[in-house]
C-alpha cells in the first residue's frame, strides 16, 4: 500500500521505518529534515505539505504531539483536507483529546475521507521493534482495511469502538501507567528510607501481584537514574490533562490522576519535563531527601 506518514519524532520515525520494512511505499513529511532524509535512504519519498502527501497515497498516518497539531495538519490550508478524495483513509496515531478526533473525522467525512483514531502504547522501544499496542476507534470496515498495515507497527491491534474510542482507551492506559509509575516510585523510595536495597525489593516482588510491565520497564531506569526519554514527562502531562478534561465531560472522577499530574507538573517546573516518565521517582526522592541506590 502507498502510505503517507506525517510526524517523524521519537515514535513516528521507527514506526515509519517498520512500514518500509514491511514492504509499503512511503511518502513522508519533509518537516523533520534529518529524519526524512534517513527514511528516503530506506526508499521513501518526501513531500513538503500534508496536501501533497494526501494527493498521492491511499492512506495517511499521523503521529503528532497533541490535538492542535492534528487539527492543523488535517484541516488547515494545504492540509490533508485539501488533498482529500473519497477513497482516502486517514489514521491518526497521536494521543489527543477524543473530542478532537471526532471533530476532525466529521470535517473530513464531508470530503469523503474515512478516519480512524489509533493511539499507541509502548514507548520508543516498542516503536522500534514493532510491538506497540494499538487501540483503534472508528468504522469497523475501515479498520479491517488497514489492520494489516497497523500490524506492521504493533503486536496488539484492537478495535475498541467508534471514532474517539481509541483515544479514550489511550487516556485510560495513561492513567494506569502514570499511577503504576507513581506506585513503583513510592515503594522503592520507602525501601531506600527503610534501609532495604531497592533492587532487592524489585527482585523479590516481580514474581508476585506487584510484578508487571511498568515494574520491569521503569524500575531499572529509576535504580540507574537513567531517564533518557522513551516517553517524556511533558507528554504524560499532556495525556493526563486530556484525561482530566475528558473525565469532566462525562463526570468520571480521577482523584489519583490529578495527584500524579501535580507531581509531574512540579518536575516539569524544575526542568525535568524532557526526562522519561520514570523520572517521577525524583519527586519522591526530593520529598524524602534521599536517592535510590543499588545494593
Instruction: State the catalytic residues.
Output: 170
* Residues 30/84, Cβ–Cβ less than 8 Å: no
CB 156 within 8 A of CB 213: no
Q: Smallest Cα–Cα separation from 93: which of 70, 118, 69?
A: 118
Strands 2-6 and 120-121 turn out to be unpaired
Contact assessment for residue 120 and residue 11, using Cβ atoms and an 8 Å cutoff: yes
Closest by alpha carbon to 235, among 4, 12, 60?
Answer: 12
Which cell numbers in the block locate residue 70?
Answer: 492534528
Give rounded-to-5 percent helix, strand, coil for the chain.
Answer: 55, 15, 30
Chain position carrying cell 524500575: 219
The answer to whether 171 and 246 have CB atoms below 8 angstroms apart is yes
**Dihedrals φ, ψ of 5, to 5°?**
-130, 125
Are the CB atoms for 234 and 274 separated by under 8 Å? yes
The residues pairing with 4 across neighbouring beta strands, listed in sequence order, are: 27, 60
Amino acid at each position: 500500500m502507498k502510505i503517507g506518514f506525517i510526524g517523524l519524532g521519537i515514535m513516528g520515525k521507527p514506526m515509519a521505518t517498520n512500514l518500509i520494512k514491511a514492504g509499503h511505499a512511503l511518502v513522508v513529511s519533509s518537516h523533520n529534515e534529518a529524519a526524512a532524509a534517513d527514511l528516503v535512504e530506506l526508499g521513501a519519498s518526501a513531500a513538503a505539505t500534508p496536501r501533497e502527501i494526501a494527493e498521492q497515497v491511499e492512506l495517511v498516518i499521523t503521529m503528532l504531539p497533541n490535538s492542535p497539531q492534528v487539527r492543523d495538519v488535517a484541516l488547515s490550508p494545504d492540509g490533508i483536507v485539501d488533498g482529500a478524495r473519497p477513497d482516502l483513509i486517514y489514521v491518526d496515531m497521536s494521543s489527543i483529546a477524543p473530542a478532537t478526533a471526532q471533530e476532525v473525522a466529521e470535517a473530513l467525512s464531508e470530503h469523503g475521507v474515512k478516519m480512524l483514531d489509533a493511539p499507541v502504547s509502548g514507548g520508543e522501544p516498542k516503536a522500534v521493534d514493532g510491538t506497540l499496542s494499538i487501540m483503534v476507534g472508528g468504522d469497523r470496515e475501515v479498520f479491517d482495511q488497514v489492520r494489516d498495515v497497523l500490524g506492521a507497527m504493533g503486536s496488539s491491534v484492537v478495535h475498541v469502538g467508534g471514532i474517539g474510542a481509541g483515544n479514550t482507551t489511550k487516556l485510560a492506559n495513561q492513567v494506569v501507567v502514570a499511577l503504576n509509575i507513581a506506585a513503583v516510585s513510592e515503594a522503592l523510595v520507602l525501601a531506600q528510607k527503610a534501609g532495604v536495597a531497592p533492587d532487592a525489593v524489585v527482585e523479590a516482588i516481580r514474581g508476585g501481584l506487584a510484578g508487571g510491565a511498568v515494574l520491569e520497564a521503569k524500575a531499572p531506569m529509576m535504580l540507574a537514574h537513567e531517564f533518557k526519554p522513551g516517553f517524556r514527562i511533558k507528554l504524560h502531562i499532556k495525556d493526563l490533562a486530556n484525561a482530566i478534561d475528558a473525565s469532566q465531560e462525562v463526570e468520571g472522577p480521577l482523584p489519583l490522576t490529578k495527584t500524579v499530574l501535580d507531581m509531574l507538573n512540579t518536575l516539569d517546573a524544575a526542568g525535568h519535563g524532557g526526562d522519561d516518565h520514570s523520572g517521577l521517582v525524583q519527586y519522591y526522592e526530593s520529598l524524602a531527601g534521599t536517592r535510590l541506590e543499588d545494593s
